[in-house]
Amino acid sequence: MKTTALIMAGGRGERFWPKSRKQTPKQFLCLTDPEKTMIQSTVERILPLVAAEDIFIATNRDYKALVREQLPEIPEENILCEPMARNTAPCIGWGATAIRKKYGEAVMLVLPSDHMITQPELFRNILRKAVNIAETTDALVTLGIAPTGPDTGYGYIQYTSGTMEKYADAFRVKRFVEKPDLETAKTYVKSGEYLWNSGMFIWKTSAILRETEELLPENYALLTQMEEAMGTPEEEKRIEELFGKMKAISIDYGVMEQAKDVYVLPSSFGWDDVGSWLAVERMSTADTEGNVIRGDAVTVSSRRCIVQGGDRLIAAVGLEDIIIVDTKDALLVCSKDHAGEIRKVPEILRTGNRTELL
C-alpha cells in the first residue's frame, strides 16, 4: 500500500514574533537548523519513507509561494491552500480526501511542519511500525512522547494498559487533554498514565474518513463535495465556499477523542514542538555562562540569555534569563518567564493597525 504524508503548515507562529511574521511564519524559518527551514527539515526527515510526489502540504493561501520556493520537489497540485483557518479536523479531512482522490486507499502520515526531531532514524523506525499497524488494521495511530517533567506547554494523551493484540507497544488511548496547568501536569506525570501529544497521526485514508463521516457528518458531506470539485475549473471557488462552511474543530476533539480504535505508540526520538523561544535554548549549545547566542553579540555579566541577532551587534550587560530577538524593523526583549505573553505584542500591533510589523 502506498505511504503518503500530509504536512500541516498553516500556522501563524505568533509566539516567535518578531522573527515569525504573518508573511513568513515559524515553519518557514531556520529556527533549529541554520541551513534549513523547519518545513524543509520535516520533509527531508520522511523522504526515506515517502516519495516527494506523495507528500501533501496543507497551508494557508498566503504561504503557497513560500512552500513552492522552499520545497520545489513537492508537486504543485499537492499543495492544499486553505482559504481560511478552520483548525485541524477540516484540514486533515481535506488532505485525506485529496489523497483518496489521487490514490484511493493509502497510508497517510499526518505531521506538523514546525517540530524538531533530533533522532530522525529513530523517528522513521517508529513511523515504519505505525505504517505497518495502519496498513493491517483500521486503527487511528498517534505518537506519544514519554514526559520528562510536568511541562505545561504540551497537550497530554492518557492511555490504558490494554495494547493491540498483534502490536504489544500500541496502547489504547483513553483521552486527549489540552495543555494543563502545572498542578494538573504534575498529577499526570506522577500517574504514569500520560504521554505528551506530539500531534502526529498515522492511518489509512479509509479509516480516518470513515470516522470523520461518523463523528463529523456535516464536515464529511462538505468533503465529498470538495472531492467532486477537485480538478474542475470551479475548484478554487467551490473549495473556498465549502471549506468555509466546515466546523472548525481540532482532530483531537473532533475525531480522536470519540473514535473507536485509537492507539498511541510511546516514542522517543528527541522531539520538541518548538513552542516558544525557550525551545531554541533547549536545542542549542550554550556558552560557559549558559547564554545561547546566534548572531553578533557581546555579553558582560550575563547568564542564561537567548540572543537571536539580526544585522547588528547586540550587547547584553548584567542580564539573566532574558530573550533578545532582533530583526530589521522590530526588536523583542522578553524575560523567559513571560515568553507566553509574546503573542500579545502582535495583538497590540493588530489593534494599532500596524500590519507592516505583523
Name the site residues for a second copy (rule: CB under 8 A): 17-18, 298, 300-301, 311-320, 322, 324, 326-335, 337-339, 341-342, 344-345, 348-349, 354, 357
Provide CB contacts within 8 A for 95, sequence distance 6+: 6, 56, 58, 80, 108, 110
Contact between residue 31 and residue 17 where contact means Cβ atoms under 8 Å apart = no
- Residue 240 in grid coordinates: 473556498
Q: Would you say 247 or 354 has its CB closer to a second copy?
A: 354
Beta pairing class for 271-272 and 116-117? antiparallel
What is the 3 state secondary structure string of 217-250? HHHHHHHHHHHHHCCCCCHHHHHHHHHHHCCCCC
DSSP letter, residue 302: -
Q: Would you say 181 or 329 has its CB closer to a second copy?
A: 329
Q: Closest separation between CB of residue 114 and a second copy, Å?
A: 21
Residue showing cell 505583523: 358
Q: Would you say 165 or 329 has its CB closer to a second copy?
A: 329
Q: Would you say 110 or 305 has its CB closer to a second copy?
A: 305
Task: Name the residue among 255, 214, 223 with its Cα closest to residue 242.
Answer: 223
- Residue 262 in grid coordinates: 485509537
Distance CA 255, CA 146 (A): 23
Q: Closest separation between CB of residue 18 and a second copy, Å?
A: 7
Residue showing cell 505584542: 345
Q: Closest separation between CB of residue 345 and a second copy, Å?
A: 4
Q: Would you say 76 or 311 has its CB closer to a second copy?
A: 311
SS3 149: coil
SS3 43: helix
Q: Closest separation between CB of residue 300 and a second copy, Å?
A: 5
Q: Closest separation between CB of residue 76 and a second copy, Å?
A: 36
Q: Would you say 57 or 322 has its CB closer to a second copy?
A: 322
Q: Would you say 106 or 297 has its CB closer to a second copy?
A: 297
Q: Closest separation between CB of residue 280 and a second copy, Å?
A: 16
Reported as type and span, the H/E element at residue 14 is none
Output phi, psi for 319, to 5 deg: -105, 145
Q: Closest separation between CB of residue 152 and a second copy, Å?
A: 16
